[in-house]
Amino acid sequence: MTLVVALVGPTATGKSDLGLALAHRLGGEVVNADAMQLYRGMDIGTAKLTVEERQGVPHHLLDVLDVRDDASVADYQERARRALVEIAQRRARAVAVGGSGLYVRALLDHMEFPGTDADLRARLEERVESEGARALHAELAAVDPVAAEGIGPRNARRIVRALEVIALTGRPYSASLPQHVYEVPAVQIGLDCDRAVLDERITARVERMWSRGLVGEVERLAAHGMGRTASRAVGYAEVLSMLRGELTPDEARTAIAAGTRRLARKQMGWFGRDPRVHWLDARDPDLVEKALALVAAADAGELGPATEDPAPRRSLGS
């Protein structure tokens, strides 16, 4: 199989635009790796490219879920890998684009999916409501400190999943997490930029979403009924709070920008730990050519481990 080109990194760095450019130059098709862009109707708040903005490039795994559904990484893996096979059969190049780290790993790496137990999960979720996510996080830290370190104490959904897997398998949750081992041959290109610049981009993106009708989009989705995953997405959760009268419009915009900045830091932490990612500066005027050079070197087997140039990542962590 031809190497998959995966564009990763924090939100608002221009991954979608670079993905389009590379798809044009490489004869490629884009595979979405953004969890929230899987949902139909979640367009403005996810910065999803419109059909016109896709410039005729086929895009896969967009608009495949109803907002009442909960996204499943296992389901995504099955759908996305099937798309890779179909793209390869057309002798096209797959360009995966997205900042959802777990979804990128599910697409590219060896990753197991332990089963589920609805009753067990319900009991754990009830405990989150009664005891708080931090209490269950402390419990997770006692039995699987590696998993607890990678899951924030406020991430109730992942805490519940980790405790569920431990109870079902008798093994640490961290044992089932993906390793840095490709199951799908790929070259990963990361986009990053200076923290202050990224913060400015995020602020501008929020204002642009607001002016394009984010509130109306959320109102329509809320009337349809939104599931847990969709309703907790950055941008949507804050507008829902505003519609309930809990935030003013200005407070909602501020909260969205703050939440997006936190998301960017989280994404950088995830991808920054992967030594296979080759980082480029999102502001580089020669970005497309440098990305193409990385792809060509990888295709030729000349691209070794990612070069140790931590400057862009350090800028986000400083």
Q: Residues of the chain with pLDDT > 90: what percent?
A: 86
Using CB atoms within 10 A of its CB, is residue 68 exposed (0-12), middle (13-18) or buried (19+)? middle
Annotated binding site for substrate: 11-16
Q: How far is C-alpha 48 from the geometric centre of its chain's CA atoms?
A: 13
Structure tokens at 214: 């984010």
Instruction: Say yes or no: do domains 4-111+179-317 and 118-176 share a fold.
Output: no
**Three-class SS of residue 258?**
helix
pLDDT of residue 309: 44
What number of other Cβ atoms are within 10 A of residue 249's Cβ? 11
pTM (2 d.p.): 0.85
Instruction: Measure the CA–CA gap between 41 and 178, rounded to whole angstroms.
Output: 30
Are the C-beta atoms of residues 193 and 281 closer than 8 Å to each other? yes
| Confidence bin at 314 (pLDDT 50/70/90) | very low
Which has the closest alpha carbon to 257: 185, 316, 209, 307?
209
Annotated binding site: 9-16
Any idea which of 7-21, 67-81, 102-116, 242-256 has the lowest mean pLDDT? 102-116
Any idea which of 57-61, 180-184, 205-209, 303-307 has the lowest mean pLDDT? 303-307
Q: Rounded to the nearest 5°, which phi and psi values hold at 4?
A: -75, 135
Instruction: Measure the CA–CA gap between 180 and 137, rounded to whole angstroms.
Output: 25
Are the C-beta atoms of residues 88 and 94 closer than 8 Å to each other? yes
**Three-class SS of residue 132?**
coil
Annotated binding site for ATP: 9-16
Structure tokens at 102: 């777990």
The yes-or-no verdict on residue 111 having pLDDT over 60 is yes
Q: pLDDT tens-digit profile of 14-54?
A: 999 999 999 999 999 999 999 999 999 999 999 999 999 99
Instruction: Measure the CA–CA gap between 130 and 153, rounded to whole angstroms.
Output: 15
The yes-or-no verdict on residue 304 having pLDDT over 80 is no
At the fourth CATH level, the homologous superfamily of domain 4-111+179-317 is P-loop containing nucleotide triphosphate hydrolases (3.40.50.300)
| CA dist 212 → 90, 192, 205, 251, 266 (Å) | 36, 26, 10, 18, 26
**What is the residue extent of each domain of the chain?**
4-111+179-317, 118-176
Architecture, CATH, for domain 118-176: Orthogonal Bundle (1.10)
Instruction: Measure the CA–CA gap between 55 and 116, rounded to whole angstroms.
Output: 41
